[in-house]
Copies of this chain bind each other. A is one copy, B any other.
Amino acid sequence: MDQITITERDTDISLGSPDLRTVDCDPDFWYPVAWSHELKTGKTIGVRYAGLPIALVRPTEGAVFALEDRCAHRQVPLSKGTVKGQAVQCCYHGWAYGRSGRCIDVPYLGKGKLPNGVRTYPCREAGGLIFVFPGDPALADSVPMPRLAHVGDPEYRTRQFGPRVACHYTFMHENLMDMNHQFLHRRQMGQIRARFLGQDRGENFVEARYSFGRTDTRQPLAEALIFGRHRDLKGKEQPVEEVVTVRTEYPYQTLNIVDKDGDLMMDLWVAYVPQSADQRTSRAFGLLSVRRPKIPFLIDLIWPALAVFTNRIFEEDREVVELEQQAWDAQGGDRNREVFPVVNHLRALLSRCGQPGQPAQR
C-alpha cells in the first residue's frame, strides 16, 4: 500500500506528557564527543555533553582519558592547559591532574596537602571516534559500545560527518525515521517517493522499512551512483527495488539500503549528542559506509560527488529541524500533530528511554 492508514490507537500516542522536547538523553550510554583526528598526541581539547564540559586528553603514552573540564582551583578549563607526560596541567597556576582525576601537583605548594581533584568520565576510542560515558561510571563496563556501520571493513568505504544542529536531538530522530520527508529533498533526489513497507518495534527500538518509487524519469547523477540507475533500456519508469531500513535503537540511529540481490549497499550509523544543558543544541556524529563497487577506484571517483550530495541533503535537513526547534521555542511547547504511526512509536520510545529534563536549567 502507498497510503498510510491511521487508527485511533496510533494517533493517541502523539500528544503525551511530558513534552518530548524536554526529555533529556539517558546519559547511561556511550556517546561520541569528538573525532579521533581532532585530538593529537600530547594535546587536550574541550568538548561537551549536555552542558558538561569535558577535557579529552591524549597523553604521549597510553589511551585517551576524559576529565571534567574545570580546574579544581578556579574552574578554568583544563583543555586550555598543556599535556605533560601522563598529566594535564592547568594553564593558569599550573595545577596538574592525572588520568585518575587526582591533583598530583600544585607547583607552589607542598606535596603533603594537595587539594582534591576533578571528576573523570569513562572514555573509549573506536572507529575514529572518542566516546565517553556521561552517566553512572559503575555502569560503563556493562553497557556495550555500538556497532559502527562498516568502519574498517575493506568491502566498504566510510565517510565521517559531524555537523552541529541547533535543535533537540529528538527532531533528528524523527526527521530520518519519516521517509515521507523526501519531499524536502526533491531538488536533490528527483521525484523519489517513499513507499512504506512495514514497521517493527521493541523495548528499545523502532524500525521502519521503505522502498522508493519514482514519479519522474530524471535522476540526479550522484543519486544514480549510490542507488543505481532506475531506467530500463527503453527509458521507461521502473520500480526501484532497494529496501531502506531506518532504525532507532536507543540512543543511536541507523539507516541501511539493501539492493534487490540482498546486498547491503549503504550503512549509516549516527548519534545525536546534546551539547547545551537544555539539550536544545546537538552535534551529530555520523558514519556512512558505502559498499565499494566491483570496478576498483570507482568509489574514489564518485566519492567527492557523494560528499556534495550528502552535504546538500544534510543542509536541507538541518534547516528544517532548526525551524522546528524555533517553532517550539516560539510556541513554548510541542504542537506536533503526527499522523504517521511509526513516528508516534518513535516518539514514545524516545520519551520512555530518556529522562525528564531539569526545569531549573532552562
We find that the number of chain A residues with CB closer than 8 angstroms to chain B is: 49
Of A51, A74, A181, A196, most B-chain CB atoms within 10 Å: A74
Query: Measured between C-beta atoms, what is the minimum distance from A284 to chain B in Å?
Result: 18
Q: Please state if B194 and A108 are interface contacts (CB–CB under 8 Å).
A: yes
Interface residues of A in 34-89 (CB under 8 A from B): 51, 53, 70, 72-77, 80, 89
A3 to B110, CA, bound (A): 6
With a CB–CB cut-off of 8 A, which chain B residues contact A196?
A: 108
Q: How many copies does the complex hold?
A: 3
Task: Indicate whether A336 reaches chain B with its CB closer than 8 angstroms.
Answer: yes
Q: Please state if A324 and B94 are interface contacts (CB–CB under 8 Å).
A: no
Query: Measured between C-beta atoms, what is the minimum distance from A94 to chain B in Å?
Result: 4
Task: Indicate whether A109 reaches chain B with its CB closer than 8 angstroms.
Answer: yes
Q: Please state if B91 and A3 are interface contacts (CB–CB under 8 Å).
A: no
Residue of B nearest to A75 (CB): B327
Task: Indicate whether A232 reaches chain B with its CB closer than 8 angstroms.
Answer: no
| Interface residues, chain A, with chain B CB atoms under 8 Å away | 2-6, 51, 53, 70, 72-77, 80, 89, 91-94, 106-110, 113, 115-116, 178, 180-181, 183-184, 193-194, 196, 320, 323-324, 327-328, 330-331, 335-340
Residue of B nearest to A110 (CB): B3
Q: Please state if A324 and B4 are interface contacts (CB–CB under 8 Å).
A: no
27 contacts between A and B (CB under 8 A): A2-B108, A4-B109, A5-B110, A6-B113, A51-B330, A53-B330, A70-B327, A73-B336, A73-B338, A74-B338, A75-B324, A75-B327, A75-B328, A75-B335, A75-B336, A76-B320, A76-B327, A80-B323, A91-B183, A92-B184, A93-B181, A93-B184, A106-B339, A107-B180, A107-B183, A108-B180, A108-B340
Query: Measured between C-beta atoms, what is the minimum distance from A6 to chain B in Å?
Result: 6
Q: Please state if B74 and A336 are interface contacts (CB–CB under 8 Å).
A: yes
Q: Please state if A110 and B184 are interface contacts (CB–CB under 8 Å).
A: no
A327 to B71, CA, bound (A): 10
Q: Please state if B77 and A323 are interface contacts (CB–CB under 8 Å).
A: yes
Residue of B nearest to A108 (CB): B180
With a CB–CB cut-off of 8 A, which chain B residues contact A324?
A: 74-76
Known: A93-B183, A180-B93, A183-B94. A108 touches B72 (CB 8 A): no
A337 to B336, CA, bound (A): 47
With a CB–CB cut-off of 8 A, which chain B residues contact A51?
A: 330
Q: Please state if B76 and A323 are interface contacts (CB–CB under 8 Å).
A: yes
A116 to B337, CA, bound (A): 9
Query: Measured between C-beta atoms, what is the minimum distance from A8 to chain B in Å?
Result: 10
